[in-house]
Structure 1
Amino acid sequence: MPRAVRERQMLDAAVRTFGQRGYRAASMDEIADLAGVSKPLVYLYLNSKEDLFTACIRREAQALTAAVREGVRPRLPADRQLWEGLRAFFSHTAQNPDGWAILHLQARTHGEPFAAEVSAMREEIVAFVTRLIAVAARDARRDPSLPEHEVAGLAEALVGAAESLAAWANAATGVSARQAAATMMNFAWAGLGDLMEGRSWSEQR
């Protein structure tokens, strides 16, 4: 069997095991059995449990960011771009719950270097959303434009809310990816849409 195919089998087994049992509880014996290979072969290909977990994080992070980017068509209006990006995000996390558990729960709670891998993925998604909001503000001909720090803060808030909602949707019963994306749009775009039109909340009433 080609090395790439064998490695994919081992990573598939590792993602399932880490996602369902957690990093600490998962064993290399269990992963090897699930992949249908010997434990020495897993060590030969992927060196150690830490390296295997890191490889899982990287693969799942790359798959998630690619799904979000591929889901967005740049020529659409900003709200449609956001909708398609959210729908791609929630569809991917729903279809890959073990991978999402690794990224959202496992990697963040076991220290470096695992947390750094997830942070890099998150920064890429936040940067993508930041550009989307900035373009939306520009296209809406805001004068003056939204301050840079406000755009960055909005992107951080939006990504954080989407992450929490994805975790909830995966744990809930009967919540589809489309429903989760619609909930996020109702939560986010109502406010963003007002900002695009120059209507921002003020404590002065």
Structure 2
Amino acid sequence: MLIIGMSALRLRTVKRHTGHDAYSFGRHAEIQGVAERIWRITVISALVLATIAWQVPHWEDVLGRADWASSAPVRWLSAVLFAVAVAIVAIAQTQMGTSWRVGVPEEGLGKLVTHGLFSWSRNPVFVGLLLALIALLLWSPTVMSAAVLAAGWTLTMMQVRIEEEALTAAHGDAYERYVAKVGRWFGRRHGGRIDEA
């Protein structure tokens, strides 16, 4: 809920500052419509699973949850991982400023963001979202939470490829230089400095 709330607030802020709707799933290409449906199913499923796991701690026993999953170290690891995920998403959304979008808008992309977390990952928002789903899987390791993680990974891979094509078309050589310097998920390549586009 926290990540969804932060994202909704960010959508409203971007619209207020740019006049453009930052929620752009399904508008750029038909495949984004598929991605949007997977995203909705994933988010709703994650919320339902997280709520059940939080409110009814032993429900996973019916599904064969391993004993190690309810140990204090695993619970702490899951909680810390989720907190890190929320921080990554919040910081990355803030650093994108008015360039932040959900999907690829018809009116085009904003400025290419290469500073802050984006100097270490081309997709820090997605990294944070995937970490949150991994935290859910650790907290409640069931077939259902594994399916939610798999759906989230599928969506992420689809959307990243769509966005990479759009960024290449919009920013050309500047984006190609960025790709050469920063990994899709994390890590700088060649230790070089990122040129702001």
Structure 1 length-normalised TM: 0.31
Per residue, is there more helix in 1 or in 2?
1
Structure ranking higher on relative contact order (CA contacts 8 Å, 6+ apart): 2
Which structure would you say has the larger Rg?
1
